[in-house]
């Protein structure tokens, strides 16, 4: 029940912090358009049209198409970081914290796969300044997972010869769920999260 | 030496089977253009220009932009399948075959990351018939890896509660190398392949 409620909340209110309502509708429309046609093939006119607004109304909220992508990317990355930080801050062994982090992170990438794809695949379209900001957020994301793995190694819970490479692999495994996850498929986001938590504990050689 | 030679071969002659030379140059130009701007934002004129040819010369070899994407996707998927089939057919334990399969598959996704990204991210742009063909190739790819894992389980070498889900995860881990791999980064394709072979053996609970 707790896990299901959490999934629903993340799933239904991903852009809750974006106000006013028109700015949020434009962001949702941009995510859909970028996911369907790619960033470069999408115009601000397309986005405004999807949101049922005029191009002029769009410019009140976003000066450029890049500003929309930057906003989407920042919110997506901040949410991913927050999910991992929350799990990392919990009481418990490194194995429990890592398991919790992987479950929530996978659940987010499965339920928010459209947003996650845009956020992951259109990084090159950002200008240098926006890109630097997102790269910094990704570095912090990486550090949270590396921190849990290091805690496990130091406590003698995990056996990891290459902590840095294993951290990259763990995050990569979870992120790629956004590419293949299919809402009509046989597994729910919760089920994929549970399977992946087990696989990641194996990757770090967690003592059973 | 053997591994390095194999990497070079795959890296330098990825489109060797495409003839004549003009058709191959157009394919290489299309991969670059799709990777940079996305399929929908790329025109056949862009592709011809990159290849130093006229749009009319392009139409001699490819009737549509979709035909180019289809050709790229088919060659990419066939190469990936061939790599896995070769490793699977080797003599040895399931652990040795799985390790070999992961190493070669990762090496290909790292060294051919531009092609792999196009092949993986532009699947939705294919028409129904082309898409069905590619989906069938992916199913066979999946079957090869599932076959090795099943062999290992039956031989008592592996401990895998969910063979189907674990197969998806193993392939996903390897494929996502194409997203994050950076030729200027700290690891070579061979090094990532070696790390990943170890991580995958852990995922399937291979006896040490």
What is the chain A residue with the closest CA to B180? Answer: A172
- A167 touching B (Cβ < 8 Å): no
CB contact under 8 A, B199 and A166: yes
CB contact under 8 A, A192 and B165: yes
- B181 touching A (Cβ < 8 Å): no
The whole-angstrom distance between A73's CA and the closest CA on chain B is 16
Q: How far apart are CA B115 and CA B95, in angstroms?
A: 29
- Tell me whether residue A116 is in a domain: yes
The pLDDT value recorded for residue A90 is: 94
pLDDT, tens only, A105-131: 999 999 999 999 999 889 989 999 999
C-alpha distances (whole Å) from B30 to each of A41, A178, B46, B62, B89 are 16, 25, 8, 11, 33
- Tell me whether residue B180 is in a domain: yes
- B175 touching A (Cβ < 8 Å): yes
Q: What is the helix (H) or strand (E) element at residue B87, kind and residue range?
A: helix B65-89
Residue B181's CATH number: 1.10.357.10
DSSP B206: -
Pair of tokens at residue A136: 């910094």
- Tell me whether residue A20 is in a domain: no
- Tell me whether residue A46 is in a domain: no
CB contact under 8 A, B173 and A169: yes
The whole-angstrom distance between B34's CA and the closest CA on chain A is 10
Q: Which residues contact B184 (CB under 8 A, 6 or more apart)?
A: none
- Tell me whether residue A21 is in a domain: no
- A114 touching B (Cβ < 8 Å): no
- A34 touching B (Cβ < 8 Å): no
3-state SS of chain A is CHHHHHHHHHHHCCCCCCCCHHHHHHHHHHHHHHHHHCCCCCCHHHHHHHCCCCHHHHHHHCCCHHHHHHHHHHHHHHHHHHHHHHHHHCCCCHHHHHHHHHHHHHHHHHHCHHHHHHHHHCHHHCCHHHHHHHHHHHHHHHHHHHHHHHHHHHCCCCCCCCHHHHHHHHHHHHHCHHHHCCCCCCCCHHHHHHHHHHHHHHHCCCCC
Mutate to test the interface with B, among A120, A180, A186, A207 (most CBs of B within 10 A): A180
- Tell me whether residue A174 is in a domain: yes
Range of the domain at B70: 2-13+66-203
Place of tokens 């707790």: A2
- Tell me whether residue A191 is in a domain: yes
3-state SS assignment for residue B21: helix
Q: Which residues contact A172 (CB under 8 A, 6 or more apart)?
A: B173, B176, B177, B179, B180
pLDDT, tens only, B20-47: 999 999 999 999 999 999 999 999 999 9
Smallest Cβ–Cβ distance between B176 and the set A38, A165, A175 belongs to A175
Nearest C-alpha neighbor of B27 from the set B121, B115, B112: B115
Q: How far apart are CA A117 and CA A122, in angstroms?
A: 8
Pair of tokens at residue B29: 């130009």
The pLDDT value recorded for residue B14 is: 74
Q: For chain B, how many structural domains are there in total?
A: 1
Question: CA triplet B199, A190, A4: central angle to 5 degrees?
Answer: 150
Rounded to two decimals, the ipTM of the complex is 0.90
The pLDDT value recorded for residue B29 is: 97
- Tell me whether residue A194 is in a domain: yes
pLDDT, tens only, A24-71: 999 999 999 999 999 999 999 999 999 999 999 999 999 999 999 999
pLDDT, tens only, B6-25: 444 444 467 888 889 999 99
The pLDDT value recorded for residue A13 is: 62
Q: Which residues contact B52 (CB under 8 A, 6 or more apart)?
A: B25
CB contact under 8 A, A195 and B169: yes
């Amino acid at each position: 029940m707790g896990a299901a409620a959490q999934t629903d909340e993340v799933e239904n209110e991903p852009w809750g912090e974006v106000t006013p309502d028109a700015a949020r509708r434009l962001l949702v429309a941009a995510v859909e358009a970028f996911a369907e046609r790619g960033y470069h093939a999408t115009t601000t006119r397309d986005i405004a049209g999807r949101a049922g607004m005029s191009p002029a109304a769009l410019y009140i909220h976003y000066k450029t198409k890049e500003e929309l992508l930057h906003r989407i990317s920042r919110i997506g990355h901040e949410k991913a970081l927050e999910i991992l930080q929350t799990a990392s801050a919990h009481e418990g062994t490194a194995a429990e914290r890592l398991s919790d982090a992987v479950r929530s992170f996978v659940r987010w990438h499965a339920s928010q796969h459209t947003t996650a794809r845009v956020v992951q695949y259109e990084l090159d379209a950002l200008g240098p300044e926006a890109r630097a900001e997102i790269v910094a957020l990704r570095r912090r994301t990486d550090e949270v997972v590396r921190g849990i793995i290091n805690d496990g190694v130091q406590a003698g819970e995990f056996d990891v010869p290459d902590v840095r490479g294993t951290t990259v692999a763990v995050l990569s495994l979870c992120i790629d769920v956004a590419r293949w996850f299919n809402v009509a498929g046989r597994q729910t986001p919760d089920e994929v999260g549970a399977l992946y938590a087990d696989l990641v504990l194996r990757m770090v050689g967690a003592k059973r």
